[in-house]
Every structure is written in C-alpha cells, then in structure tokens.
C-alpha cells in the first residue's frame, strides 16, 4: 500500500479531529480530577519542585498512592507538563491527550503494515473509528496512565510485527514492551504472557537463524529493563493489586458445595468458571457495545467502549479472523486478542476497561476486518452509509461525553474539592476542619487545588513510611497544615472552637446543625443541583449559652472552652 499525498491529508484530517476530541474542554470535561488523576498530578508537581514524591521518597520506581502503588511512567512524563501548564487539569491530563493523538498514528501504520485490510478506504475508516471510539476518547482525556500504557503497548506490538521481517526490530520491540510494564500494572502482567505466547505461536520464525539472536538479545534487554521492577518483587508494591484476585470469592462459593463435591474437583471447577466468566465478559457484546464500565469515573452515560452498531462488523471480523487463523498476520492478531484481557480477567472486578485497554488494539482491528468484508459486498450506499454512521456516532459521543457526563458523573469525578479550595481562599483567616470520613484522598485533593508546597505535605507524613516505602501500606488520611485540618469531625470538641467545619451531606444532620448552633457559610452544589459539600461556622459562645440555659452548665463549658483554646 503506497503512501501518497491524499493519504497524508486524510490522516492529517483524522489527527485534527482526534486532537479536537481529546483537547476540547479538557479543563472542564470531565468536570474535576478523579481520585486516579489527582495523585498523578500532585506527585509530578512534587517531583518537579523537590525531586521527591508526596511522602518524601526520591524518584521512586513505583509511586505510593494512598494504600496502593502505581507504575511510575505517567508521573515522570507529567513532570514537564506540570512545569509548562502548572498544577491544574490541563497539566495533569496533557500526557494522556498527546498519547491518544500519537496512538492514532501508530494504529494507522500498524493497520497498513499488518496487510489484513484490502481496501485503502477501510484502513482510514478503521483509524477514524479508533479515534472516535468511546474507549479511546475516555482514556485520552483522563489524567492517568491508561492511554500512555496503551501507546507503549501498541507501539511495541507494531515494532515486534516489523521485526518479523527485519529482525533488528524484534530486539527493539521486545525491549519497548518491557518498558511498557512501567506504564501500567496490566502491562506488567501482560509482558510475560505475550513473550511466552510469541515463543509458542511463532517459534518457527523467532527461534530460527538470525531471528533467534535478535529475539534473545531483545529478551536480555527486556530482562535488564525489568531489573528495577524485579528488585521490588518481594515487596508489597509489586503485588499490591493481589487483593483484587477473586480467591476469596471462590473459597466462599466452595463452602456452599463442599458437602457434595470433593475439594480437588470443586475448587478447580470454580476457579475455571470464575476466570472464564470474567474473560468472556471482555468479548461479550453486552459489555463491549452496550453497558458502560461499572466504575462510574470510567464510563460515559449511555455508551460502552464501542458504539452499539459496531457489533455487526465485530462478529464478522471475529469469524474471518478465526477462519484465516493459519496466516501469520491473523495469528498475530489472535495472539494479541487472546492474551490482552487475561490480567484483567484474574481480578474480581467485572469488565474493568482500564485494565483491559490493550484489548482495544486487537478489537479495533477485528472490527475493521468486519467492515472490510462488508465493503466487499460492493453496496452502492456503502460510503454514504459509513458517513452517516460516523456522524451518528459522533453525535451520541458528544451527547454522552460532553452533555451527560459532566452532569451525571460529577460526584464520581470528585466534584466539589476545587470549590472547597476556593472557599478556603475566600476565608483565609479562618481555621478549617474538613471531614474525610468517606474519602481518604481528601488531603491530596485539597493539596492539589490549594497548590500546597510539597515539602509541607512531605513533612506532615510519618517517618515510618519513608523508611519502608515499598512495604508500608498503612494509611493515615488525617493531615494538618497551616489553618487546615483534614480528619473526621469530633463533635464533642470541635463545636467549642471558632472554626469552619466542612463535610458532605452525611456529615451534618439538621438536628446537629440546630443543636450545635452552626451557621452555614457556604454550600457547594453539583451541576444537577445536588448538595455535595457544606461549610458551617461553629458558634461556641452561643452553644455554651444554650447549654448553660438548658442545663445550668454554662460556667463549666466556658471553662472547658478556654482550656481547649489553649
């Protein structure tokens, strides 16, 4: 397939559309930074200013985010972005946006080189569909590692494919695949699976002649790249996601049948059932084309990861891929499709699109194969129909993502913390207590929006975390800096100090407000007009007077109040 000026303009047009879709309103849609984005942004800021993360650890191999650990690549890539755009939504999300745009080029080149699509126009259509697919748009606009990890994965897969013809690229591709393990947990577990799969399926190519030397060189390079990861293998940071494994569910399930089924049959049966049910969800029509990701901050209202109409080319593409599985390019595609959801299928979360994002590559190619087959029917209306479907898809994407999502998913995207920070700036001289009973990441949300100096946060952390950084997963979500305390509200003490108490709808009941003589200072509402946070000023004098009148204890309370102030 030759590359001419026409192709160039088509791809440029798709890139412009992609750039628009991923950049447009990036600082307002999604409405705020989610719990996954905030730590990436703030830690990049911390690395930029101090060379250390929020806990004071210098350039870690794996970032500790609350009680979890995250691969480091996204944070390090975000450091220059934060230095250019500052600590804000654009700075935090820009790496994903750029990864999304670059991935369009990678998909285009891979589709062309795979020689799987006969029609040139369908190759462009496939790239266009990738660009506008809800899966791509969602993660290209989210400030965490998903799209960056996908870019590394797809680039390495493409380079390995080139290596099937020019063996030097095998070495480069395998090393790049190994680097991708630092971009996401899913890639970390996918790496050995893919390498074993490549050896098993393509042993006749990879383990013969000069290919063998380049492939082994790639494996050695990949091993060297993995040394920092391997140094963490015995720490909790490496297997921090092990709690997501469905082990416990299996054991509970087995208790129900243990009297009738022996353990050596029951346990393997239940494991196989659980794994396969999870695995097939990633290929199910309902999951891929209808129901959104169950995790609210990763789903678009009324849309799944692909458009509903795509199930027709998907089924056709699946059938053709299976039929032509003897051909090397289809075999390669099948290997990618079969291995991609395995790490995600080992977890108990159903259809977790973030962990299964490598699947996007093989599925978009399978869908394109299906469209290519339909195009062979030589339907007169094929091109107008495609145009119509693409326009329809863009309309429902725009409706779901730019209209419904900011309103309906506001709370999932942690709406309100930015507003709290703004209110705090308004009442600078006041002392604040922010209730964190239902969100252990409240401290970093406020640190982000208040642009808190990272050294202040690092000094507020206990020294025991720095000493055993990769093993210590205990969380202390309570912080205190300047005029701000982040902790649960202690009603027996806090109402006797002059301060502003901040919490969500569950923090303050009407009875508490009346009984403790609280005065509302501000109220933060989400776009659907639901109250998300409220700030109340305490009134110790009035409260004491009230108690004194009611119980005759005014003097005692006043005394205790003065002692509390000390």
Partner 1 sequence: MYILSILITLISSLWSWELFSFNPNLLLVVWSATIILFLSVIKSSKKILCIFCLFLIPILVVQWKTTRNAGLDYMSETDWSLFATRRIELSAVSPSLGRYLGNKPEYMFYKFEQNLLRSMDLNLYFFGSHPRERSGIREFEKFSFLFLPFFIFGLLRLVKFSPWQLGTSLFIPLLVLAIIGQDNPIGPFSLLPFFSVTIAVGMFNIIKKLNVI
Query: In this structure, are residues 92 and 82 in contact, taking their beta carbons and an 8 Å threshold?
Result: yes
Of 86 and 294, the one with the shorter C-beta distance to partner 1 is 294
Of 281 and 472, the one with the shorter C-beta distance to partner 1 is 281
Query: In this structure, are residues 148 and 187 in contact, taking their beta carbons and an 8 Å threshold?
Result: no
One symbol per residue from 401 to 420: x for binding partner 1 (CB under 8 A), - otherwise; what is it?
Answer: --xx--xx------------
Cα–Cα distance, 466 to 362 (Å, whole number): 41
Of 102 and 285, the one with the shorter C-beta distance to partner 1 is 285
Using CB under 8 A, pick the residue from 88, 302, 437, 539 that binds partner 1: 302
Of 189 and 404, the one with the shorter C-beta distance to partner 1 is 404
- For 11, 43, 77, 285, 470, the CA distances from 99, given in Å and listed in that order, are 16, 20, 11, 27, 28
- At closest approach, how far in Å is the CB of 309 from partner 1? 8
Using CB under 8 A, pick the residue from 113, 284, 296, 558 that binds partner 1: 284
Of 218 and 343, the one with the shorter C-beta distance to partner 1 is 343
Query: Which strands form 500-503's sheet, in the order they lie side by side?
Result: 479-481, 484-486, 432-434, 500-503, 531-537, 519-525
- For 34, 101, 167, the CA distances from 40, given in Å and listed in that order, are 10, 20, 37
Of 85 and 269, the one with the shorter C-beta distance to partner 1 is 269
Of 287 and 418, the one with the shorter C-beta distance to partner 1 is 287
Using CB under 8 A, pick the residue from 203, 256, 273, 551 that binds partner 1: 273
Using CB under 8 A, pick the residue from 192, 294, 384, 462 that binds partner 1: 294
Of 19 and 302, the one with the shorter C-beta distance to partner 1 is 302
Which range, of 173-181, 227-235, 398-406, 499-507, touches partner 1 by CB under 8 A?
398-406
What's the burial of 411, exposed, middle or buried (CB within 10 Å: 0-12/13-18/19+)?
middle
Which range, of 126-134, 157-165, 269-277, 556-564, touches partner 1 by CB under 8 A?
269-277
Using CB under 8 A, pick the residue from 257, 276, 425, 549 that binds partner 1: 276
Cα–Cα distance, 491 to 251 (Å, whole number): 42
- At closest approach, how far in Å is the CB of 244 from partner 1? 13
Could you tell me which residues come within 8 angstroms of residue 443 by beta carbon, excluding any fewer than 6 positions away?
436, 457, 477, 478, 479, 486
Which candidate, 339, 333, 386, places its Cα nearest to that of 117?
A: 333
Using CB under 8 A, pick the residue from 28, 115, 242, 277 that binds partner 1: 277
Of 163 and 406, the one with the shorter C-beta distance to partner 1 is 406
Question: How many of the chain's residues bind partner 1 (CB under 8 A)?
Answer: 30
Helix axes 328-339, 89-114, angle to 10 degrees: 150
- At closest approach, how far in Å is the CB of 281 from partner 1? 6
**Residues β-bridged to residue 402:** none
Of 139 and 306, the one with the shorter C-beta distance to partner 1 is 306
Query: How would you classify the pairing of strands 479-481 and 484-486?
Result: antiparallel
Site residues (CB under 8 A) for partner 1, limited to 350-389: 350-351
Q: Which two tokens stand for residue 267?
A: 């346990």
Phi, psi of 502 (to 5 degrees): -120, 135
One symbol per residue from 309 to 328: x for binding partner 1 (CB under 8 A), - otherwise; what is it?
Answer: --x-------x--x------
Using rule CB under 8 A, residue 281 touches partner 1? yes
Which range, of 16-24, 97-105, 284-292, 327-335, touches partner 1 by CB under 8 A?
284-292
Q: Which two tokens stand for residue 566?
A: 């000390």
Using CB under 8 A, pick the residue from 49, 113, 271, 308 that binds partner 1: 308
Of 253 and 494, the one with the shorter C-beta distance to partner 1 is 253
Could you tell me which residues come within 8 angstroms of residue 121 by beta carbon, excluding any fewer than 6 positions away?
375, 383
- At closest approach, how far in Å is the CB of 403 from partner 1? 6
Query: In this structure, are residues 215 and 206 in contact, taking their beta carbons and an 8 Å threshold?
Result: yes
Could you tell me which residues come within 8 angstroms of residue 300 by beta carbon, excluding any fewer than 6 positions away?
134, 137, 138, 292, 397, 400, 401, 404, 405
Q: Which two tokens stand for residue 65?
A: 């985010």
Which range, of 59-67, 190-198, 201-209, 283-291, touches partner 1 by CB under 8 A?
283-291
- At closest approach, how far in Å is the CB of 388 from partner 1? 15
Which range, of 149-157, 216-224, 383-391, 395-403, touches partner 1 by CB under 8 A?
395-403
Using rule CB under 8 A, residue 394 touches partner 1? no
Of 278 and 418, the one with the shorter C-beta distance to partner 1 is 278
Ordered DSSP codes for 347-415: BSSSS-TTTTTTHHHHHHHHHHHHHHHHHTT--TTHHHHHHHHHHHHHHHHIIIIIIIHHHHTTTTTTT
Which candidate, 181, 169, 179, 177, places its Cα nearest to that of 206?
A: 169
CB atoms within 10 A of CB 383: 12
- At closest approach, how far in Å is the CB of 352 from partner 1? 10
* Site residues (vs partner 1, CB under 8 A): 272-273, 276-278, 280-281, 284-287, 289-291, 294, 302, 308, 311, 319, 322, 348, 350-351, 395, 399, 403-404, 407-408, 528
């Amino acid at each position: 397939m030759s590359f001419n000026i026409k192709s160039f303009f088509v791809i440029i047009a798709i890139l412009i559309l992609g750039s628009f879709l991923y950049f447009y309103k990036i600082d307002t849609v999604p409405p705020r930074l989610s719990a996954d984005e905030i730590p990436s942004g703030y830690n990049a800021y911390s690395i930029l200013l101090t060379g250390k993360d929020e806990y004071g650890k210098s350039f870690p191999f794996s970032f500790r985010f609350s009680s979890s650990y995250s691969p480091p690549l996204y944070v390090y890539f975000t450091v220059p972005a934060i230095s250019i755009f500052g600590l804000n939504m654009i700075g935090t999300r820009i790496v994903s946006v750029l990864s999304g745009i670059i991935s369009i080029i990678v998909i285009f080149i891979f589709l062309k080189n795979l020689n799987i699509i006969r029609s040139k126009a369908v190759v462009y259509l496939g790239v266009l569909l990738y660009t506008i697919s809800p899966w791509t748009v969602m993660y290209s606009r989210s400030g965490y590692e998903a799209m960056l990890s996908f870019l590394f994965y797809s680039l390495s897969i493409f380079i390995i494919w080139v290596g099937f013809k020019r063996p030097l690229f095998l070495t480069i591709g395998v090393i790049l695949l190994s680097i991708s393990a630092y971009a996401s947990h899913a890639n970390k577990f996918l790496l050995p699976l893919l390498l074993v799969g490549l050896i098993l399926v393509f042993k006749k190519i990879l383990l013969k002649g000069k290919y063998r030397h380049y492939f082994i060189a790639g494996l050695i390079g990949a091993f060297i790249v993995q040394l920092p990861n391997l140094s963490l293998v015995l720490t909790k940071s490496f297997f921090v996601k092990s709690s997501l494994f469905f082990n416990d569910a299996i054991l509970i399930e087995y208790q129900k049948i243990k009297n009738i089924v022996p353990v050596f049959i029951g346990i393997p049966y239940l494991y196989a059932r659980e794994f396969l049910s999870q695995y097939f969800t990633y290929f199910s029509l309902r999951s891929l084309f209808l129901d959104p990701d169950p995790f609210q901050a990763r789903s678009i209202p009324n849309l799944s990861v692909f458009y509903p109409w795509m199930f027709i080319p998907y089924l056709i593409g699946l059938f053709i891929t299976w039929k032509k599985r003897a051909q090397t390019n289809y075999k390669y595609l099948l290997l990618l499709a079969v291995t991609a959801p395995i790490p995600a299928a080992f977890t108990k979360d159903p259809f977790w699109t973030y962990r299964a994002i490598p699947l996007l590559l093989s599925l978009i190619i399978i869908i394109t194969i299906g469209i290519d087959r339909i195009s062979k029917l030589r339907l007169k209306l094929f091109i107008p129909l495609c145009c119509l479907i693409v326009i329809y898809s863009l309309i429902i994407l725009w409706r779901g993502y730019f209209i419904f999502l900011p309103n309906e998913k506001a709370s999932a995207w942690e709406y309100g913390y930015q507003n709290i920070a703004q209110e705090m700036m308004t009442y600078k001289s006041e002392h604040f207590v922010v209730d964190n009973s239902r969100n252990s990441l409240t401290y970093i949300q406020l640190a982000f929006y208040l642009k808190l100096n990272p050294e202040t946060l690092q000094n507020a952390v206990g020294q025991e975390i720095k000493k055993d950084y990769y093993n210590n997963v205990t969380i202390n979500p309570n912080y205190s800096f300047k005029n701000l305390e982040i902790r649960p509200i202690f009603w027996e003490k806090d109402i006797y100090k002059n301060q502003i108490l901040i919490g969500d709808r569950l923090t303050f009941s009407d009875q508490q407000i009346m009984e403790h003589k609280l005065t509302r200072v501000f109220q933060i509402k989400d776009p659907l007009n639901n109250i998300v946070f409220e700030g109340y000023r305490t009134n110790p004098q009035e409260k004491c007077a009230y108690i004194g009148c009611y119980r005759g204890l005014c003097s005692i309370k006043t005394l205790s109040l003065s002692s509390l102030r000390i």
